[in-house]
Amino acid sequence: MNSDSPGRIPGDRFLHSPGPTHIPAEVLNAMHRQPMDHGDPRLDQLAATCETGLRRLLQTERADLFMYISNGHGAWEATTENLLTPGQTALIPGTGHFSEQWAIQAEATGRRVIRTPHREGYPIDPNDVEQALRADKKREIVAVFTVHTDTASGATCDLKAIRAAIDAAGHPALFVADIVASLAAAPFAMDALGVNVAVGASQKGLMCPPGFGFVAVDARAGELAAKNPAPRYYWDWGRRKAEYSYRKFCGTAPQNLLFGLEAALALLDREGMAAVHARHASLARAVQVAVECWSREGAVSLHCRVPEARSVSVTTIDVRPGVDVEALRSVARERFQVAFAGALGPQFGRAFRIGHLGDVNAAMILGCLAGVEAAMLVQDIPFGRDGVQKAVECLAAG
């Protein structure tokens, strides 16, 4: 071997971004199969199995499922194109980077957006939603596009309270929830919450590679979309409402992603969703307890200021001016084999993020936290030294 080339690094690099997340071996193995021809009835059965599993996960008995070869942004655009004509209005409550990105994307396709204020470190205020809807005397707002968990801020909003705010305003707007970062990590019940459209993607709690987006659409949203005269083709729900996979996907189906999704849904069923949610809550508490210990020295702190709104999917950690986040990430990734995420949008360079969703267990979380501590030592970032110890105690307590 060339003496200048890097040697083999044994073991696995820990992946603790909030997406893509760690992929279980069962999912990777399921994807390692040859595709079928378009006319094979087993392909239609595979798609139907995934639809049934997603409905069960979403806790909906009435919604249609539309699946896309896309990321979450593609599923956003599918929702916008089907529900709104150019010039029509969506209300997008401010959650941070991802609500703003959804707003920018909607505006880029000719839709009008009303935003509610966003306070850094805080979730959506349902009162802001109610006030914005009450102010809409002409009932121009077609839908409220809500990001359940913003992976940039690490804050999760209260969907039940937002549904109540829409109802209290007496407004007919549809309730649309982006659950990309919360599905299969935090409880979500589409029908019980009165969500008209749920928007998801594969690369987070679903434990699959990126590239698969989907929307679940209830009858009211489907009727509105059917009357929408705006031109569309690939995103069109009506065009995709079919029994055959070739029409469901507007062309070739992403068969290997479907194999993986089928395996992932089976893993979730086997663990049981109550256990899945409890595991995510436990791991999130351990991470957040560790960060609270680290914060005693003043160099880092929890970004989300509302404890009950802190996400079970990802924890965002603010850093004081002068801390080089990208250098910290590089040391953790290259020297200690722990990969975590930087911040996005206006938070870039001011925070980093630890993902703790999907196929993750206690040992992986403790390894991640130890790797972050080791990187902070190398970078001479002061922190409370008992963070991993407190996380161990938190996990041991159950």
Cα(first)–Cα(last) distance of the chain, in Å? 48
Same domain, 284 and 220: no
Same domain, 303 and 336: yes
373: left (phi over 0), alpha (psi -120 to 50) or beta: alpha
What pLDDT score was predicted for residue 6? 58
What pLDDT score was predicted for residue 11? 86
What pLDDT score was predicted for residue 398? 82
Would 2 be classed as within a structural domain?
no
Single residue among 243, 269, 295 that ends a domain in this structure:
269
Would 240 be classed as within a structural domain?
yes
Same domain, 38 and 71: yes
Could you read off the pLDDT of 31-72 as tens digits, one per residue? 999 999 988 999 999 999 999 999 999 999 989 999 999 999
Same domain, 265 and 283: no
- The string of DSSP codes covering 224-288 is HHHH--S--STT-HHHH-SSSHHHHTTSS--HHHHHHHHHHHHHHHHH-HHHHHHHHHHHHHHHH
Sheet containing 314-319, strands listed edge to edge, beginning at the edge strand earlier in sequence? 14-16, 338-342, 351-355, 314-319, 300-302
Residues 120-144, mean pLDDT to the nearest whole number: 97
Same domain, 285 and 255: no
Note down the domain range covering 260. Answer: 25-269
Same domain, 100 and 113: yes
Contact (CB, 8 A) for 116 and 124? yes
What pLDDT score was predicted for residue 3? 44
Same domain, 346 and 254: no
In the 3-class helix/strand/coil scheme, how is 58-90 assigned residue by residue? HCCCCCEEEEEECCHHHHHHHHHHHHCCCCCEE
The domain total for the chain is 2
Would 124 be classed as within a structural domain?
yes
Which of the 8 DSSP states describes residue 310?
B
pTM of the model: 0.96
Residues 139-160, mean pLDDT to the nearest whole number: 98
Same domain, 80 and 173: yes
Could you read off the pLDDT of 6-36 as tens digits, one per residue? 567 888 899 999 999 999 999 999 999 999 9
Same domain, 262 and 277: no
Contact (CB, 8 A) for 353 and 18? yes
Could you read off the pLDDT of 246-292 as tens digits, one per residue? 999 999 999 999 999 999 999 999 999 999 999 999 999 999 999 99
What pLDDT score was predicted for residue 2? 46
Q: Is 80 exceeded by the pLDDT of residue 169?
A: yes
Single residue among 269, 302, 330 that ends a domain in this structure:
269
Would 49 be classed as within a structural domain?
yes
Indicate the average pLDDT of the chain. Answer: 96
Could you read off the pLDDT of 321-378 as tens digits, one per residue? 999 999 999 999 999 999 999 999 889 999 999 999 999 999 999 999 999 999 999 9
Would 43 be classed as within a structural domain?
yes
Q: In this structure, what CATH number is given to the domain that contains residue 80? A: 3.40.640.10
What pLDDT score was predicted for residue 1? 40
What pLDDT score was predicted for residue 15? 96
Q: Is 90 exceeded by the pLDDT of residue 380?
A: yes
Single residue among 269, 289, 321 that ends a domain in this structure:
269
Among residues of the chain, what percentage have pLDDT more than 70?
98
What pLDDT score was predicted for residue 243? 87
Same domain, 324 and 219: no
Same domain, 187 and 209: yes
